[in-house]
Each structure stands twice: as C-alpha cells, then as structure tokens.
Amino acid sequence: MIDLYTWSTPNGRKVSIMLEEVALPYAVHPVNISKDEQFKPEFLAISPNNRIPAIVDRDNGLALFESGAILMYLAEKTGKFWPTDEKGRWNTMQWLMWQMGGIGPMLGQVHHFVRFNKGKAPYAEERYLKEAARLYGVLDRQLAKSEYVAGDYTIADMAIWPWISRFEWQGIDLAQYENVSRWYKAIAARPAVQKGYHIPVPQDGIPMPS
C-alpha cells in the first residue's frame, strides 16, 4: 500500500496517474497548498522541501518526495513503464529530466506571471511565453519521430502530460503543434489518466483542444 500526499497540480497528477497505471493500491492524503498545509510538521517529516507530491510505501516504510524520483521508484517497484534495455532506459531518463528541468519550472513561471499576475512584469511574461513556445516546439519535433516521447509509453510521458494539460493557462493553441495534440489526446483517453487526473479533487474535466 502506498500513501500518497498530493494536491491537484501537474506534479501531483504525475504520481496519481502512475499509481493508476500500475494498479498499486494507494491511500490519498490531500495536502491543500492553498491553505499552507504543506508546511505542517507531519508533512515536512515526509517532504522536507514542503512540496507535493510525496509518498510513503507501507511495504518498507520508505518515504519519498520529488515527483521524478517517485515515478522512478514506482517504475522500479512494479517493473513497468521504464525500459530495461540500456538505450531505452536512458532515453526515457533524459526526457524525464527534460520535464523536471524545463517543462515544469518554465511553464510554472508562465502560470505565475501570465495567469496569476498578468500585467505586473511584462518582461517576465514575454520571456516565459517565448520559452513555453520553444519547449512545445521541442516536444512537437520529438513526437514527430515517435508515438510517445521516448518511443513507448513511459514515465516520461506521465511526467510531461499533466503540464501540457494546462495549455490554456500557457496561452498555447495545441492546433499549432499537431504532434503534441495527437499525443495529448491519446494519453487523455487512457482510463488510468482519466482517473488519476481527478485525484485528490474532482475537476470539471480534462481540458481538450478544439
């Protein structure tokens, strides 16, 4: 049994989607970041960086924070969604790291400056909107070569997709990125994704491009 400490954010959804995909039993513990629940001592004991998601594996008592590390752990635990051959494994790893170092923090800045603080920092808005478009271009070119980011459906896709699901927040027209749009819709149709997206708080629905 996995204890999942999470909230309805792209980083949180990575792990709930993965848990649904691998069909591991898990218990959800909502951490409402709008109420600063991530700063409670009991959560900090699991996630010292006061960020969701975090897990505790009741099978061995292991506590983990950082969504990328959690995805790798669950893939290792179940033997799913992370290739075992050297080339495939490292290809998946590099795209997972691309998400952790690029897509996540850069699109997060778009959310901060463009959605929540629009007009306060025009330079920052321009900078991060341009970077968002660049990253979408990188993803689109990669998906022109393969069905999923690293070939087969892997933890790299699970890490990237929740951030792309906020394309409207980022001012992105997915129709301009044909390959991203195809990939996005295919993943959105997966039953595990449809269930994991609504953890811990049910949403109106998965955003879909027109």
Rounded (10°) CA dihedral 195, 199, 204, 209: -60
**Domain made up of 86-190: CATH architecture:** Up-down Bundle (1.20)
Q: What is the mean pLDDT of residues 50-73?
A: 98
Q: What is the mean pLDDT of residues 170-177?
A: 95
The pLDDT value given to residue 147: 98
Q: What is the mean pLDDT of residues 33-40?
A: 96
The pLDDT value given to residue 210: 77
Q: What is the mean pLDDT of residues 62-75?
A: 98
Q: What is the mean pLDDT of residues 155-184?
A: 97
Q: Residue 65: pLDDT band by 50, 70, 90 thresholds?
A: very high
Q: What fold does the segment set 2-78 form as a domain?
A: Glutaredoxin (3.40.30)
The pLDDT value given to residue 202: 96
pTM of the model: 0.96
Q: What is the mean pLDDT of residues 84-94?
A: 97
Read off the pLDDT of residues 5-26 as tens digits, 9 standing for 90 and up: 999 999 999 999 999 999 999 9
Query: What single letter denotes the amino acid at residue 15?
Result: V
Q: Residue 118: pLDDT band by 50, 70, 90 thresholds?
A: very high
pLDDT above 90: percentage of residues in the chain:
99
* Residue 144 reports pLDDT greater than 90: yes
Catalytic choice (8, 16, 47, 181): 8
The pLDDT value given to residue 77: 98
Q: What is the mean pLDDT of residues 68-88?
A: 98
For the chain, the domains span: 2-78, 86-190
Mean pLDDT of the chain: 97
Q: What is the mean pLDDT of residues 184-188?
A: 98
Q: How far apart are alpha carbons 55 and 13 in whole angstroms?
A: 13
> Is residue 8 annotated as part of the catalytic site, yes or no?
yes
Q: How far apart are alpha carbons 128 and 142 in whole angstroms?
A: 21
